[in-house]
Amino acid sequence: MLVEKFADEIDGILKKYPLEHKRSAVMPLLFIAQREFGYIPDEAIGEIADLLELDPTEVGSLIGFYTLYYDKPEGKYRIQICTDLPCALRGSEIFAQKLCDELGINVGETTEDGLITVETVMCLAACDKAPMFQLQESEGIHYYENMTVESSLELIEELRRKAENA
């Protein structure tokens, strides 16, 4: 599945690591799987584990540990709002709740159209610019600082238009 479709890219990644340390390629390979599926299905975990001669549990544990990997499908766009203490003192928790209220979801849920998942995370290193969030999408991660509910809803509408035209 991945090895066939992304053979050249995977080969390029594996060439970066000495053979005895090929297990170090696990994170870039997980990224390929997530880019392909929007999350990392069990089949991809098994394929990556086989390729790197790892136990599937070792590969799967990384998905649970790192907040940039997902083991189930959710929104095409992920809004991750920092609610660490300094951001919370600048209103990020209230911002998160109000944004979710406007979208008709709870924190951690996905909008009915399947496009937007809103979740909270710890420390995105922009405490003085809260409320702020990172937006994850297939093209990468983008940071938005000094946000309001209104400016966030405008961004979400742009994302919806982008998804319609894709």
The total number of structural domains that make up the chain: 2
What is the residue-level pLDDT of the chain in tens, covering all 166 positions?
899 999 999 999 999 999 999 999 999 999 999 888 888 999 999 999 999 999 999 999 999 888 788 888 889 999 999 999 999 999 999 999 999 999 999 999 999 999 999 999 999 999 999 999 999 887 888 999 999 999 999 999 999 999 998 7
Which residues, including other chains, have CB under 8 Å from residue 77's CB and lie 6 or more apart? 115, 116, 117, 135, 136, 137, 156, 159
CATH number at residue 96: 3.40.30.10
Structure tokens at 106: 């709870």
Domain that residue 23 falls in: 2-65
**Is the residue at 160 inside a domain?**
yes
Q: Is residue 146 part of a domain?
A: yes
CATH number at residue 25: 1.10.10.1590
